[in-house]
Amino acid sequence: MRKAVIPILFVFSLSATAQEKKVADTAKTNTIQEVVVTSLGVKRQARSLTYSSQQIGGDELTEVKTPNFLNSVSGKVSNVQINRTNGVGSSVRVIMRGNKSASSSQPLYVIDGIPIINSVGKAPEASQYSTMPDAGDVLSSINPDDIESINFLKGASASALYGSIGGNGVILITTKKGKVGKSSISYNTSFTVDQAYSLPKLQHSYLSYDPSVLGQYAGISNESWGAKGASKDHLKDFLQNGTTWVNSLSFQSGTEKSTNYFSIGNTTNKGVVPSSYFDQYNVSFRNSSKYLNDKLTLDANFIGSLQNSINRQTPGVSFSPLVSLYWLPRDVDFDQYGPNNYSYLNKERLLPAQNWWAIGPDGKFNGNPATQNPYWILNRNKVTVNNKNTYSALSLAYQINPWLSARVRGNYSWNITDSRRGVSAYSDPNLITSNGENGRFLQNKYENSSTYGDVLLIGSPKLSEDISLDFTVGGSINTTRNTVTEIDNAYLAAPNLFTTSNLQWNVDRGVGDGFHNINYSTKKQIQSVFASASLGYKNMFYVDMTFRNDWDSSLAFTGTNGYDYESVGANAVLSSVFKLPEAISFWKVRGSYATVGLGLPANLTTATIPYNTAYGYIVDAGQILYPKYSLITDPAFKELFVKPELNKTFEVGTELRMFKNRLSFDFTYYNSNASNQLLPVTISSYLGGLPSGSYYVNAGKIQNTGFETSLSYRILNSEKLGWTASLNASANKNKIVELFPDRLKVNKDLLLALTGGGAYTKLKVGGSFGDIYGFKFQRDQQGRILVDADGKPMADKEIGYLGNPNPKFMLGFSNSFNIGKLGISFLIDGKFGGQVLSLTEKANDMMGVSQNSASARDAGGVSIPNAVYAPGTPNAGAAYTGLTDAKAYYNAVGANQEGAGIDEAYIYSATTVRLRQASIGYTFDINSSYLKNATVSIVGTNLFFFYKKAPFDPEQVSGNTPGGVGVDSFGIPITRSIGLSLKANF
């Protein structure tokens, strides 16, 4: 079933059978009796909803498959922003209706009505010095062929029944059940070839040396600012065509009393970077059975997966094989350092040593930061990520009478992610750290579990012929546990043996040498009671009300026992109230208001108790780590005591369907204000009367306002020829209204760093979430760029605002056609506005390896528009109209290290319009004894951009963090995938 809020996309059906199903689904969706899944898995008539929701079918996720099904949602749901991280199996960042929290704006995920925790491991930052890749998340392990539908509850009114865990919206996933009737088997497979494209534009027309000068040779310099001359493009030879093979086999059977669904799946990927692999195995089982004359229904579900990846790409310079090729001094023969010659046997230690141009005869590395042989990185600095995920759920429902039922449900989910990297001896000494001559071992291990149980009483009594009532009353307990192990040790007893038993801890180590052994556990429990009621009058007017109270263990020691959230909404079905023109099939207006929020991180409030207790610190390799921030406990500052974040949201909207439901229109306007943000602040000199120190403060307000709209029209509607067109748009404006209260007298210009944003993404009063800050051109009062006596641009001494990466407007257009049994499908979506920063381009320019640097040399230098000589120069105040030497210019603005250069020169438009996916397929009706039908399709994803100005894909982020958006730090290249898919039903 699909609601009228249609995606931002172009969609043409995969096959005739798929198109026939879509037409049927659309017709059903557009009837006024449509039933949708809402909070807690309760089904409601769509006409009675007082808020916006959008549902997409599982077929839309599998038309053109992606290993993480959430990537398939991109462009298909309005006002949902999805950011990819680093490659197959990595996590996905999902934001609905804008960023609301400095802690996390990720939505709650719910499977078959029961919440789960979408845990992720330690995420890398938007930094040049990351050491580990994104570890993936739980959602990336779900087989999309097991999903029946997904419903997006984007507003607070829709998710209020979930309380604090649903403060950022809810994504409801309904899995497939067996069907009553004859048993059936389905086999789905797709094989695609993945190709890197839109790579950084590099130059191969200037060398790293001057052959005419005696004593100069290739590699004498780390940079490529030498004489003109041709050199080979080794990057294209290094990158390979990747492959992704996805297989799924499912079996379903059922009787009137019991149905079963079972599936197994496998995803195998060979990356575009050599020696990078990913394997995933899935298993799923669901049974639904009826007992006691069909009054008792048992629903049991199990989902499990294993993921193993090798050499998933890590952002930053340190462990990226691509950086070594970007910066390779031009005319250095990389072929002599290839896959069979990246190491040699060191005769002194009888250990593999690295063979690389940047290593001198004395064994020292050239360059700061130095590069390594790409094949050495992939084979001797190898990183592995192993994930295990299980989810099991059980639900018992008893029909007490025709209008009242009771449910008892529970689930247990467990996952563990284990990321390990071994850094072999003879790697760059800066990566092994001091005295680490035997190598270095890094491990990030995160184990998470969640236990959830609830009891529900669901009723729909008939109060009268005119008045209807639907209600839900219940209570729940949700317990989450997390165990974290982080190891970083460069003191191996035996060289290159990367096991925990080979690590030495009782050593006289240097300060800051990357020596860590952190292990801690957290636990959090939320106990809740809740209720909802929906009153209807003559199927024309509806009023919704919800209430929930949470008792949250994260508030321990704060003096607060619990908190409550409420929502209220109303709608009017105008097509039932008034006699409208025959062309109008259905018209509804709606409005709602809700207060929901987010709880606190587990164990945070233990910082209120003395440091000499076991709860107030973490032990790192025998050293006590006291909390960096404490909580305010002075009663005089009671308003600053920690408390849950609070999001107050108002929304209004309308739904209109015309011409016998062939045309549908939906519009929503919303305004949300998220307050009580948990923020760290350092107070000095008793500002505001508070003793100096570092504190967690509940303050701040983040505002999001915007709209989302969609228009869909079934232009042609027959089995032989079908055509459906859809158009939708959404916009969101985000503003940081407040950070710290006036009482603390915190400087209004204070920049608050966002987690995962490195040195670049900040919060500031009056700004927007995720604003990018960096060094700007120094300008005079008229805004003209200041240059020195040699014409080199000068940088401001303090960082300044550069831009915001979030799109201001998202727009899409979809079409689906079928011509008999032939189906054609493609999807286009666009994101408009925003700015992004490329550290990759910044470094490549300074190294003289970018095409920009070659073009500037060809032109005789760089022209700097609107520039004047700086004060103190001989021509101070005079216009600068000359050409600046290319090397001098790019050494001034570029940089291969953080905190240098001029970031403003590397800000690009984030606007993109792309062909997201396409397919053409044909369905063969076999109708034999064994095979019913089969659909064969040519499919493609992320095929090309109609418009893109940034030198990288602005959708890609370093890690799944609040602040990791909009900064490219040597990320993996964009890949397009083209291949074949087969769907066979037996």
Phi first, then psi: what are they for 41, rounded to 5°? 80, 10
User: What confidence category does residue 617 fall into, taking pLDDT thresholds of 50, 70 and 90?
Assistant: low
User: What confidence category does residue 958 fall into, taking pLDDT thresholds of 50, 70 and 90?
Assistant: confident
Cβ(9)–Cβ(813) below 8 Å? yes
pLDDT at 506 over 70: yes
pLDDT at 235 over 50: yes
**H helix intervals, 805-878:** 839-847, 851-858
Cβ(174)–Cβ(148) below 8 Å? yes
Reported as a single tens digit per residue, the pLDDT across 436-464 is: 789 999 999 999 999 999 999 999 998 89
CA-based nearest residue to 425, from 360, 514, 491: 491
Cβ(594)–Cβ(160) below 8 Å? yes
Reported as a single tens digit per residue, the pLDDT across 19-41 is: 344 433 433 334 445 777 777 77
The one-letter amino acid code at 739 reads L
Cβ(199)–Cβ(971) below 8 Å? no
User: What confidence category does residue 686 fall into, taking pLDDT thresholds of 50, 70 and 90?
Assistant: low
User: What confidence category does residue 754 fall into, taking pLDDT thresholds of 50, 70 and 90?
Assistant: confident
Name the DSSP class of 203: -
Mean per-residue pLDDT, 679-703: 78
Reported as a single tens digit per residue, the pLDDT across 523-564 is: 889 999 999 999 999 989 999 999 999 888 888 777 777 788
User: Which of 632-646, 723-737, 744-758: highest mean pLDDT?
Assistant: 723-737
Tokens of 495: 């060289």
pLDDT at 584 over 70: yes
| All residues at 6 or more sequence positions from 373 whose CB lies less than 8 Å from its CB, including other chains | 324, 337, 342, 343, 354, 355, 356
User: What confidence category does residue 685 fall into, taking pLDDT thresholds of 50, 70 and 90?
Assistant: low
pLDDT, position 742: 80
pLDDT, position 18: 39
Mean per-residue pLDDT, 225-249: 94
Cα angle 850-854-855, degrees, rounded to a multiple of 5: 110
The one-letter amino acid code at 552 reads D
* Gap between the Cα atoms of 846 and 224, Å rounded: 9
* End-to-end Cα, the chain, rounded Å: 24
User: What confidence category does residue 688 fall into, taking pLDDT thresholds of 50, 70 and 90?
Assistant: low
pLDDT, position 634: 76
pLDDT, position 859: 95
Mean per-residue pLDDT, 46-56: 84
* Gap between the Cα atoms of 365 and 347, Å rounded: 19
C-alpha dihedral sign at 7, 13, 19, 21: negative
DSSP reduced 3-state for 742: helix
CA-based nearest residue to 148, from 15, 5, 252, 256: 252
Residue 801 β-bridge partners: 773
Average the pLDDT over each of 345-354, 618-627, 746-755 and give the range with the smallest value.
Answer: 618-627
Q: What is the DSSP string of 548-591?
A: EEEEEGGGTTTT---EEEEEEEEEEEHHHHS---TTEEEEEEEE
Q: Which residues of 523-549 are buried (b: 16+ CB within 10 A; e: fewer)?
A: ebebebbbbbebbbeeebbbebbbbbb
Q: How many CB atoms lie within 10 A of CB 658?
A: 18
Cβ(831)–Cβ(83) below 8 Å? no
C-alpha dihedral sign at 894, 125, 700, 93: positive
Mean per-residue pLDDT, 489-502: 93
pLDDT at 391 over 60: yes
pLDDT, position 8: 30
User: CA 62 from chain center: how many Å?
Assistant: 20
pLDDT, position 380: 96
User: What confidence category does residue 910 fall into, taking pLDDT thresholds of 50, 70 and 90?
Assistant: very high
Pick 752 or 126 by higher pLDDT. Answer: 752
* Gap between the Cα atoms of 752 and 749, Å rounded: 10
* Gap between the Cα atoms of 12 and 841, Å rounded: 37
pLDDT at 14 over 70: no
Q: How many CB atoms lie within 10 A of CB 395?
A: 21
* Gap between the Cα atoms of 274 and 825, Å rounded: 32
* Gap between the Cα atoms of 40 and 471, Å rounded: 12
pLDDT at 5 over 80: no
* Gap between the Cα atoms of 407 and 298, Å rounded: 10
Name the DSSP class of 250: E
| All residues at 6 or more sequence positions from 51 whose CB lies less than 8 Å from its CB, including other chains | 153, 155, 157, 158, 544, 569, 590, 592, 651, 653
Reported as a single tens digit per residue, the pLDDT across 177-203 is: 988 888 999 999 999 999 998 899 999
For the chain, the residue count is 986
How does the average pLDDT of the chain come out, rounded? 87
**Strands of 764-911, DSSP E:** 771-774, 785-787, 800-803, 809-819, 822-832, 835-838, 862-863, 867-869, 879-880, 883-884, 907-909
